[in-house]
């Protein structure tokens, strides 16, 4: 009987303080893990936003510069002038004039009598489109291009805030 009583007294278990300590430590660990995951997801969204703006900016800039390089003449802007619209003539008559402009927050192209085609999607807003004619007499023609692309952020969330200005120059090839 005495042996049974001593076994009951020596029964090991958790005290209330130990139990509270374990719950507190587990809560802190879960909090740290959830904050780390939230930060990880926000940085992933930010990187996707930056990649989308840069990808569209590079694609638009490449299309404009390649079209200028393959053009025959520059209609607008005049030499030494700067405008938000570029009009050029290409060697393909059906595409004349080829016009790049800004409309409804998108950079657009219109070739000849064809329809206006937006070059940027609805998740990107384009602004400050500028074409500057840097040509000199007896040169084929040089155009400096600049524009700003901004990711659309209707909720105002910080991870969707990104804007970048793109610059390039292109010159007409001599035939």
91-147 residue pLDDT tens: 887 888 999 999 999 999 999 898 999 999 999 999 999 999 998 877 778 999 999
The model's confidence at residue 90, banded by pLDDT at 50, 70 and 90, is confident
pLDDT over 80 at 13, yes or no: no
Q: Which domain holds residue 132?
A: 16-171
Q: Is residue 132 included in any domain, yes or no?
A: yes
What contacts 115, CB < 8 A, 6 or more positions away? Answer: none
Query: Quick one: tokens of 42?
Result: 């926000």
User: Residue 6: inside a domain, yes or no?
Assistant: no
Q: For residue 125, is it within any domain?
A: yes
> For residue 141, is it within any domain?
yes
Is 9 part of a structural domain of the chain? no
Residue 25 is encoded by which pair of tokens? 């430590």
> DSSP state, 155?
T
C-alpha torsion angle, residues 136, 75, 118, 145 (rounded to 10): 10
Residue with tokens 């590079």: 58
Residue 87 above 60 pLDDT?
yes
With beta carbons less than 8 A apart as the criterion, state whether 163 and 53 touch. yes
Q: How many structural domains are present in the chain?
A: 1
Does residue 150 belong to any structural domain of this protein?
yes
């Amino acid at each position: 009987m005495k042996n049974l009583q001593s076994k009951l007294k020596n029964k090991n278990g958790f005290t209330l303080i130990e139990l509270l300590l374990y719950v507190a430590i587990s809560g802190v660990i879960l909090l740290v893990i959830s904050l780390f995951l939230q930060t990880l997801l926000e940085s992933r969204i930010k990187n996707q936003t930056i990649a989308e703006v840069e990808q569209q900016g590079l694609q638009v800039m490449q299309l404009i510069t390649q079209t200028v390089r393959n053009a025959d003449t520059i209609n607008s802007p005049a030499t030494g002038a700067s405008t938000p619209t570029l009009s050029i003539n290409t060697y393909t008559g059906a595409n004349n004039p080829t016009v790049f402009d800004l409309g409804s927050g998108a950079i657009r192209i219109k070739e000849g009598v064809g329809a206006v085609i937006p070059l940027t999607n609805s998740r990107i807003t384009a602004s400050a489109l500028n074409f500057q004619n840097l040509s000199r007499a007896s040169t084929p023609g040089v155009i400096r291009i600049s524009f700003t692309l901004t990711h659309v952020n209707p909720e105002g969330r910080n991870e969707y805030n990104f804007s970048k200005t793109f610059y390039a120059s292109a010159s007409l090839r001599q035939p």
